[in-house]
Amino acid sequence: MNHEIYQSPLSERYASKELQYVFSPEMKFKTWRRLWIALAETEQELGLDITDEQIAELKAAKDDINYDVAK
C-alpha cells in the first residue's frame, strides 16, 4: 500500500497529488510525531520529568513509522 497518498475513489478522480498527500497516512503520522516531540519539549520546559535523551529518541525515530501498528 502506498502511504504517501490518500486513497479513495473520489480523491483519485478529483484531488491533486499534493492534496492527496496532505491527507495521506504518511503525513498524518509524521505530523503526530512532530506534535509529540513539541509536546515533550514543552512539558520538559514546564518541569515534567522528561530527559533530553528521551526527546532525542523521539527525534531519532520520528520517520520510522510502522504503518501496520499505527492503523
35: CATH: 1.10.275.10
The set of residues, in sequence order, having a beta carbon less than 8 Å from that of 20 and lying 6+ positions away, is 5, 6, 7, 11, 12
How far apart are alpha carbons 32 and 12 in whole angstroms? 25
58/8: higher pLDDT? 58
How far apart are alpha carbons 68 and 34 in whole angstroms? 20
How far apart are alpha carbons 8 and 12 in whole angstroms? 6
- Residue 55 counted as domain residue: yes
Range of the domain at 34: 25-70
Confidence class for position 7, pLDDT limits 50, 70, 90: low
If one counts the domains in the chain, the total is 1
- Residue 33 counted as domain residue: yes
- Residue 13 counted as domain residue: no
- Residue 4 counted as domain residue: no
- How far is residue 39 from each of residues 17, 62, 71, measured CA to CA in Å? 30, 14, 22
- Residue 48 counted as domain residue: yes
- Residue 31 counted as domain residue: yes
For 15-67, the pLDDT digits (tens) are 788 888 888 889 999 999 999 999 999 999 999 999 999 999 999 999 998 88
